[in-house]
Chains A and B, each alone.
Chain A
């Protein structure tokens, strides 16, 4: 969907994007993470054509002409650009003039979709931050884009606002829209992202799927049962090389080796008459992994 090869960008003599290669696939929710000044926003601006690369290539939609391909990308960079003296509908109506054939019905439907259908004559200046973000997303959604690029879309939002945006992103992704999102709120990002790009000092340090990251972050599986000894014996019998840490707790032990599917472990124990009180993966968070990866 978006393929970037050997992209470079400098401001004056400072290199802000350094030989970045990146691949966003169709259907991805691609999370771009990195410290402030890592180059996330600049990379997004380069994709959108808001600034020019020194060299390297950006390919969107399998090599479609960039100015056309960019028309199919919706975006919010840094903060949504809105006319504060206008209502949500007036903002949408005005921006709709930049598109081909956006009808009032589509505008109303988009406003309903982002939960702003009932704002009526209320001016944007009276909106909460979450409402402004949602209006920004509605504007970005105009013209039925294939890709949405959102720079820090949940920054400054309260938990309710974060949930609203998160649910909206998941719903839109399920409807076929590919996302590229940057955020500092890594745990929030971890709830929706399917692939990560980790940036540091203008470089893409790593690209990793959420699945792979999950595996890497998982340190052990914690299990609580009614009969710890029996459970350990069953597991050792079933899995030859299983690494078990018994702990000092009466009913709890850890499986330290990799476990593909915890539900199999659960059913194995239950089928052998062991009551399982809890079973879950424990490990480092995305934040821990990120800090570890960037050596902070």
Chain B
């Protein structure tokens, strides 16, 4: 597994496109967050700016580009058979790509938060912060996205179709489930369990612990669920 992870690491970070995506992503996040400085009079502060750097949706768009790149590249270039032929099972390769997607997402998250914090401190000055619980929940939510994106990239094995699917299906799925909830009017709301909802309550510095815990639990269910569904799919695809 270590060799596979090392392989993925070298494979990804020797691509100039990755750095271009990273720079564009950080630029987007910073620029998008910058207008918050004008909200000072509405009680906006450093914490708000830190928390909201990821809630505008851009981060997930970049994940939707990077994860298919990680997963599909070896399939598209027909290189995957070289790896399989070296005695690495499909499940091992799948797991390595899954873990790597998670690690890259966590890394990107930390970079985004660090940059967001620097920007927030620069704009509002340093305050003692109490948002680590929200940031933790956001991290789990992003990892859930990574697992979800990884699952569909593994299924499609083509980056183009994967990116298109991952950009449109999560918001569309949320919309459809909301419509279903309104139509059925059941005591349970399906839309609350959709992937996009993992981030829904994590944009304000004042949410309660229950919502944070619920978000983390939903994210963990997505991470574990996507992993095992993907594993089953891979097994079936290569029977």
Chain A residues within 8 Å of B, Cβ to Cβ? 48-52, 67-68, 70-71, 73-75, 77-79, 81-84, 90, 94-95, 97-99, 139, 143
Contacts and interface: CB of A to CB of B under 8 A. Distances in A.
A98 B10 contact: no
A98 B77 contact: no
Given A52-B239, A84-B77, A98 B84 contact: no
B85 A97 contact: no
A81 B239 contact: no
Contact of A50 (B10, B81, B239): B81
Interface of B: 3-4, 6-7, 10-11, 14, 77-89, 238-239
A67 B81 contact: no
A52 B79 contact: no
30 contacts: A48-B84, A48-B85, A49-B84, A49-B85, A49-B87, A50-B85, A52-B238, A52-B239, A67-B87, A67-B89, A71-B86, A71-B87, A73-B85, A74-B85, A75-B85, A77-B85, A78-B81, A79-B78, A81-B82, A82-B77, A82-B79, A83-B79, A90-B14, A94-B7, A95-B82, A98-B4, A98-B7, A98-B86, A98-B88, A139-B82
Given A49-B87, A70-B87, A71-B86, A94 B10 contact: yes
A216 B116 CA distance: 79
Contact of A70 (B79, B82, B85): B85
Contacts of B11: 94
A75 B87 CA distance: 11
A280 B7 CA distance: 55
A83 B238 CA distance: 23
Contacts of B80: 81
A97 B88 CA distance: 13
A77 B82 CA distance: 9
Contacts of B238: 51-52
A82 to B, nearest CB: 7
B87 to A, nearest CB: 4
B4 to A, nearest CB: 7
A97 B3 contact: yes
Contacts of A74: 85
4 pairs of A and B residues whose beta carbons are closest in the complex: A81-B79, A70-B87, A71-B87, A81-B78
Contacts of A50: 81, 84-85
B234 to A, nearest CB: 12
A75 B83 CA distance: 10
Contacts of A68: 87
Given A48-B85, A94-B10, 16 more contacts: A49-B84, A51-B238, A52-B239, A71-B86, A71-B87, A73-B85, A77-B85, A79-B78, A81-B80, A82-B77, A82-B79, A94-B14, A95-B7, A95-B82, A98-B4, A98-B88
A97 B7 contact: yes
B81 A81 contact: yes
